[in-house]
Amino acid sequence: MPQRHPVIIITGTPGTGKSTHAQLLQDASPVPLKHINVGQLVKDNSFHHGFDQQWQSYTVDEDKLLDELEPLASAGGIILDWHTCEIFPERWADLVVVLRCNHTMLWDRLEKRNYPLKKIQENNEAEIMEVVLQEARDSYPQQIIVDLKSESSQDLENNVASIVEWINQWLKDNGHEDEDNTL
């Protein structure tokens, strides 16, 4: 049986580049990693209690979502991409990446997505108040949390390269020296 590969959570306020990071990381990883866009999974599989018109988002059924993700997380080799992280059990995570962005830049990104003003304001406040970073710090050991700036294509490149370095070190630390780490 092949050895387990890491579970990486990429989180951050909407608009910080989670999905872009996850996709590029999937392509650059020295081992196969499956990118799971958790928000899309919730929509596609109706893991929700309906759509909240006021907040323009789904009310997630966390039990259904976690039941679906448990076997995937146990097997490893996944990137969980979502705007929150604290619902994922600590035992799942090998690395938690919190993407951060200047709030003015974030506002512009969310406007381009045609988010309603209330949702832009809420997400901008959350970024300023470091809500997602604090959730990560409250939910996981400090040594597995990485806080990365995500404002430019250079940040994106550097971040993906850093995570690939982390994966290579994780593989060594977890007895994968004999594995062929090429895709």
pLDDT at 111: 97
Tell me the average pLDDT of the chain.
93
Which residue type does 114 have?
Answer: N
> Which residue do the tokens 């895709």 mark?
183
- pLDDT score recorded for residue 178: 54
What does the pLDDT look like over 144-171, one tens digit per residue?
Answer: 999 999 999 999 999 999 999 999 999 9
Q: Is the pTM of this model over 0.95?
A: no
Going from the C-alpha of 65 to that of each of 60, 68, 85, 129, the distances in angstroms are 8, 5, 13, 27
Q: Which of 89, 88, 97 is nearest to 38 (CA)?
A: 88
Residue with tokens 């499956």: 34
Q: What angle do CA 74, 8, 169 make, to 5 degrees?
A: 100
Give CA–CA dist 25/33, Å, rounded: 8
Does 77 show up as a binding residue in the annotation?
no
Which tens digits make up the pLDDT trace of 93-145?
999 999 999 999 999 999 999 999 999 999 999 999 999 999 999 999 999 99
Q: Does the structure show a pLDDT above 80 at 9?
A: yes
Would you say 19 is a known binding-site residue? yes
The predicted pLDDT at position 183 comes to 37
Higher pLDDT, 4 or 55: 4
Return the higher-pLDDT residue of 56 and 67: 67
Under the banding of pLDDT at 50, 70 and 90, the label for residue 2 is low
* Whether 179 contacts 3, CB under 8 Å: yes
User: What whole-number distance in Å separates Cα of residue 39 and Cα of residue 129?
Assistant: 22
20 known member of a binding site: yes
Does the annotation list 113 as a binding residue?
yes
Ligand-binding annotation for 112, yes or no, is: no
